């Protein structure tokens, strides 16, 4: 019986095809099928550079060197992310999108910073127990129907002209 020495390869490989948990790899001198043994839910795609280990008949992908495929974390039930003594930071080059029937944000302080904000609602309500302050360089309001303002007291000041234009103006 002749025993041939089998060496174990550990190095980079290029993804040629991915189907389910199997990945076709291009190694330096051959093409092989490997099984994903990644500790995170990454899905390799054509052209990715991965870290492969194995020998004839047994190949595994154990790392991602340069990847462009998606990483999808799926939970069959509730999913909780927690950092009880730290922060959770999310960063994305092309945006972050949240989709749900209901989104609730609870915080003792909420700060939003943006160059521009666009909001679209069917109905909206804002309830403020204390003072609601609004500062703007300019304000423009357009209302298709009735504009109803009710207050115990209204104080309006202008440094220049005040214009009120309407078919009928009732004072008192």
Phi, psi of 22 (to 5 degrees): -100, 140
Residues 66/72, Cβ–Cβ less than 8 Å? no
Question: Residue 43 and residue 127: Cα distance in Å, rounded?
Answer: 45
pLDDT at position 20? 79
Q: What is the pLDDT of residues 19-68, one digit of tens each?
A: 878 999 999 999 999 999 988 888 999 999 999 999 988 999 999 999 99
Across 86-99, b (16+ Cβ under 10 Å) vs e yields eeeeeeeeeeeeee
Q: How many CA atoms lie within 13 A of 143 on its CB side?
A: 6
Residue 7 pLDDT: 85
Asked if CATH classification 2.60.40.1930 holds for the domain at 9-66, the reply, yes or no, is no
Model confidence pLDDT, tens digit, residues 56-112:
889 999 999 999 988 888 889 999 999 999 999 999 999 999 999 999 999 999 999
Domain limits of the chain?
Answer: 9-66
pLDDT digits (tens, 9 = 90+) for 133-159: 999 999 999 999 999 999 999 999 999
pLDDT, residue 39, reads 87
């Amino acid at each position: 019986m002749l025993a041939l020495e089998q060496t174990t390869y550990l190095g980079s490989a290029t993804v040629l095809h991915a189907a389910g948990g199997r990945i076709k790899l291009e190694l330096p001198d051959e093409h092989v099928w490997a099984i994903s043994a990644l500790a995170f839910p990454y899905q390799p795609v054509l052209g990715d550079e991965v870290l492969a280990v194995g020998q004839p008949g047994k190949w595994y992908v154990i790392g991602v060197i340069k990847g462009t495929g998606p990483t999808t974390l799926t939970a069959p039930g509730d999913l909780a992310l927690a950092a009880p003594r730290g922060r959770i930071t999310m960063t994305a080059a092309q945006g972050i999108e949240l989709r749900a029937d209901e989104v609730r944000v609870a915080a003792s302080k909420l700060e939003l910073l943006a160059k521009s904000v666009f909001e679209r609602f069917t109905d909206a309500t804002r309830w403020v127990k204390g003072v609601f302050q609004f500062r703007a360089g300019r304000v423009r309001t357009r209302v298709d129907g009735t504009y109803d303002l009710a207050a115990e007291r209204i104080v309006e000041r202008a440094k220049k002209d005040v214009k009120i234009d309407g078919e009928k103006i009732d004072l008192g």
